[in-house]
Amino acid sequence: MRVLEPLIGLGKGLWVTLRSMFEKPVTVQYPEHKKPVKPRFRGRHVLKRYENGLEKCIGCALCAAACPADAIFVESAENNDGQRFSPGERYASTYEINMLRCIYCGFCEDACPTEAIVLGDNYELSFTDRRQAIYPKEMLIDPVPAGIQTTPQRTEPGRFTRSVPAMKDPQD
Amino acid sequence: MTLGNILEWLIKGFVWVLILLGGFAYLTYYERRALARIQVRIGPNRAGPFGLLQPIADAIKLIFKEEFMPARADKLLFILAPIITLTPALVITAVVPFGNEPFTLFGRTITWQIADINVGVLYIMSIASIAVYGIVLAGWSSNNKYAMLGGLRSTAQMISYELALGLSFVGVIVLTNSTRLIDIVEAQRVYIWHLGSLQIPVPMWNAFLQPVGMAIFLIATLAEVNRAPFDMPEAEQELAAGYHSEYGGMKFALLFMAEYDKMIAICTIAAALFFGGYLGPDLSGIPLIGGFLKYVQGPFYMFLKVFILLFGMIWLRATLPRIRYDRLMAFGWKVLLPLSLVLIIVSAVGVLAAQEFSRHLFLVGIPILSLMAGFVAILGIYQSLRRKEHARA
């Protein structure tokens, strides 16, 4: 009955939609259930620390130079053994990222000589005004691990002279 | 005409309008949930239990929106158009009976019908034709070419499909020998067919007697209320919502309300004309609540049928893509119009043959002839499609 093809086609289409009514919904109920992000997901930035609590960031501003959106502002200051924030000579006294400008390209991550800045897995950024979109260093930096003294630390002279640690090539 | 009569009409009309407005709100919810389920989603489920407060949240949002008007719009018509669109949608169902068991309240016998007029079908036809004015005026007064195009498309489409719609009404009138809606519904009562010693109950729904007529009615009403797949007047993708693209806030809500109330109205009319209206299995035999059920079973069956028909409309929207405009016109003028004319002849011949020979011919002959006419129409469509394929190849 090829003549009835228009009708059969219509029926087939209706059957497909009716059948899909009884499938399990694919919806993820977002605030209650969150899907884990993918391993290479680029979310909000995190400033990392070494295990001893010192900041990895040395205030070189290479990330700011690499940033295509000009979202990063870095100001550095001198370290000394009485008040040490990071290994080597300098640390970032101010580190701000404007989250409205950031395009999450990850160039800052690539530019960083100490692997201090990493794009994390937090994608829930929300602000109610433009000032709030500028994340200062206190919001970006990792909390100090338990039992470790926070920065600035008092360190013995001559121990942290090298600002960029000896590193292997990145694996991923 | 006494004061009591006028008061009764007013109260009944008011209650029905309230039901339609509430029905509109929850039809949007029903549609969103059903569409979501068809698309393997969940749909609105945040506001209140199962998202049941979602329509109220939408209403609050729309009420508090800014009343915006395009700079060079025709102000009077721009404001009037949503009202002109909504009014026919609200009043069209005044003649539809919702039950046959009148009840007594304050010493008055109250029927389940707002206005029992003897030309009910004509009333429905005339009100349905008025509905196009609001849409075309909304499109024209917005001073926007997309809105204008939407209004124009709507006019052409509604006038074209009104013919097929009107002729499918005629088929029903011929079958039931009345234009009064309560007579039309009563004519669809179960008929006991004595076949020797066998007694076969046959529901005389016009949908069974005249299946192709029912199909034409449903297709034409889809086009009349601008629902998918005939939603060219709105066509979000090409016309930016068409005739209501310049409307916002409550004025938009009125146009939206008109569209959904038209859906409810058209399903109510379809239920009354083709699906036996308030008729259904008698529930008054049930002990204890039977006495109460005797009165409410009519409205209940009506609601059930409307609910199912509305699901059909939502289902079609979820399934079919928008039809091309020239195909729509060709289908309306070259298929539906001749086919519905043929069906009137089929119905008339069937009725005459039933009077002349036997009533059973009425039950068997008309459906078979009607289906044959439908088959010929599909043959025509098939051949035309195949010719196009050959021309392309």
Q: At what angle do helices B249-274 and B211-224 cross, to 10 degrees?
A: 170
The confidence band for B393, taking pLDDT boundaries of 50, 70 and 90, is: low
Per-position b or e across A11-26, b if 16+ CB within 10 A of its CB: eeebeebeeeeeeeee
Nearest alpha-carbon partner for B157 in B135, B179, B172, B175: B135
The confidence band for B335, taking pLDDT boundaries of 50, 70 and 90, is: confident
Whether pLDDT at B299 is above 90: no
What is the predicted pLDDT for the residue at A103?
A: 92
Q: Does A14 sit within 8 Å of B40, measured CB to CB?
A: no
Work out the number of other CB atoms within 10 angstroms of the CB of residue B110.
Answer: 13
Q: Does B38 sit within 8 Å of A20, measured CB to CB?
A: yes
Q: Which chain B residues are within 8 Å of A27, Cβ to Cβ?
A: 41-42
- Structure tokens belonging to residue A27: 């919806």
Whether pLDDT at A151 is above 80: no
B255 to chain A nearest CA, in Å?
28
Task: Given the cut 0.90, state whether the ipTM is greater than it.
Answer: no
The confidence band for B290, taking pLDDT boundaries of 50, 70 and 90, is: low
**Residues B366 and B210: beta-carbon distance below 8 Å:** yes
Residues 6+ apart with CB under 8 A from B43: B32, B33, B34, B35, B36, B37, B51
**Of A4, A6, A20, which has the smallest distance from its Cβ to B40's Cβ?**
A20
Q: Does B385 sit within 8 Å of A2, measured CB to CB?
A: no
- Structure tokens belonging to residue B299: 């409205």
**Residues B99 and B112: beta-carbon distance below 8 Å:** yes
The confidence band for A96, taking pLDDT boundaries of 50, 70 and 90, is: very high
E strands, chain A, in order: 45-47, 72-78, 90-98, 117-119, 134-135
Whether pLDDT at B392 is above 80: no
E strands, B250-313, in order: none
More confident residue, B269 or B278: B269
User: Which is it for strands B103-105 and B108-110: parallel, antiparallel or unpaired?
Assistant: antiparallel
Mutation choice for A interface testing from B30, B32, B35, B37 by most A CBs within 10 A? B37
Whether pLDDT at A68 is above 90: yes
Look over chain B and give the mean of its residue pLDDT values, rounded to a whole number: 82
Q: What length is written for chain A?
A: 172
What digits encode the pLDDT tens for the residues B227-259? 878 887 777 777 777 778 788 778 888 888 888
Phi, then psi, of A78 in degrees rounded to 5:
-80, 140
Using only C-alpha atoms, what is the Rg of chain A? 25
Is the CA virtual torsion B215, B218, B220, B226 positive or negative? negative
Work out the number of other CB atoms within 10 angstroms of the CB of residue B72.
Answer: 9
